[in-house]
């Protein structure tokens, strides 16, 4: 991976003495002066500051999740399941406060939000957080590859290059499957050696790999724990999207949203974009239902 392009902060490290002039050590380390200068309202609405802070916090968490996934990829490539699992568990933890940020703007009515966004559109033009580069890179790393979103970033050549690279490289799921293959599980070659920029097509053989991993509680326990952590990540990601959809229903209804399309219709199909698809589809035949269960095998 190109570390320069994947450095989501794109900031040079400064020597402590050069950072601390006129600041406390805490402020120098956390860059609090710069941080608190980043909220620049464009309307007179008293809630705009909450809107800006909420979105900026979301951006920070997305870049944090990006860095964690890149770390986990390196760990899987080094066959270090223990450290990769710890990294993935941090991603699960990051989704909790990320999803909780919606509470900070749950008070918004259509009147509130439109008063803010009308000024934002007049100042900057139409757009959406789902077309921000951090969100898009996170989604690519989760394995949801959609080349059509790249065109949005032509005004940002560095970010376009960064996202093009993320689109063409393996996702975290690709690295998990490659790791399972090295352990001896039968992951097909056409899954491992495919064009990673093309949307992933679920494989029956990969589904059977997950079935085999879960076949007996006493076998492959660490890999079962890996599967559950990946499921937690997918669930946290899907929860964020559900909260976004409900916030859109609450503040826009069925009208066109501020990026020019009908927001609910644009968001609803994304609810079916769940990472790690075979991990979920295999649940339909993992384990033996009890004899009295109406869904038991016949």
What mean pLDDT, rounded, does the chain reach?
A: 88
Model confidence pLDDT, tens digit, residues 192-225: 999 999 999 999 999 999 999 999 778 899 999 9
Model confidence pLDDT, tens digit, residues 88-141: 999 999 999 999 999 999 999 999 988 998 898 889 887 765 678 999 999 999
Q: Predicted confidence band at 14 (pLDDT cuts at 50, 70, 90)?
A: low
| pLDDT at res. 294 | 63
Q: Predicted confidence band at 10 (pLDDT cuts at 50, 70, 90)?
A: very low
The domain limits of the chain are: 3-13+49-252+261-284
Number of CB atoms found within 10 A of residue 214's CB: 20
CATH domain 3-13+49-252+261-284 topology: Methane Monooxygenase Hydroxylase; Chain G, domain 1 (1.20.58)
Model confidence pLDDT, tens digit, residues 258-284: 555 567 777 878 888 999 999 999 999
pTM: 0.88
8 A C-beta contact, residue 66 and residue 8: yes
């Amino acid at each position: 991976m190109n570390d320069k392009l994947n450095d989501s902060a794109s900031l040079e490290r400064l020597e402590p003495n050069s950072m601390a002039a006129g600041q406390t050590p805490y402020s120098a380390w956390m860059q609090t002066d710069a941080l608190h200068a980043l909220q620049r309202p464009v309307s007179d609405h008293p809630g705009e500051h909450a809107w800006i802070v909420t979105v900026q916090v979301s951006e920070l968490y997305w870049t944090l999740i990006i860095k964690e996934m890149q770390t986990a990829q390196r760990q899987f490539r080094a066959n270090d399941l223990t450290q990769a699992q710890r990294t993935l568990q941090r991603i699960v933890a990051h989704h909790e406060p990320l999803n909780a940020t919606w509470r900070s703007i749950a008070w918004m009515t259509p009147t509130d939000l439109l008063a803010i966004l009308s000024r934002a559109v007049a100042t900057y033009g139409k757009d959406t957080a789902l077309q921000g580069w951090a969100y898009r890179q996170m989604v690519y790393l989760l394995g949801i590859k959609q080349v059509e979103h790249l065109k949005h970033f032509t005004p940002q050549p560095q970010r376009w290059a960064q996202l093009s690279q993320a689109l063409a490289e393996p996702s975290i799921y690709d690295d998990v499957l490659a790791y399972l293959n090295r352990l001896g599980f039968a992951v097909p070659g056409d899954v491992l050696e495919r064009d990673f920029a093309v949307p992933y097509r679920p494989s029956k053989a990969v589904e059977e790999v997950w079935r085999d991993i879960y076949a007996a509680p006493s076998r492959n326990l660490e890999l079962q724990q890996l599967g559950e952590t990946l499921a937690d990540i997918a669930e946290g990601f899907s929860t964020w999207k559900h909260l976004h959809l409900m916030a859109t229903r609450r503040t826009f209804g069925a009208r066109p949203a501020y990026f020019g399309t009908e927001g609910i219709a644009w968001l609803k199909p994304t609810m079916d974009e769940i990472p790690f698809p075979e991990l979920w589809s295999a649940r339909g035949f993992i384990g033996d239902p009890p004899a009295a269960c109406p869904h038991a095998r016949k």
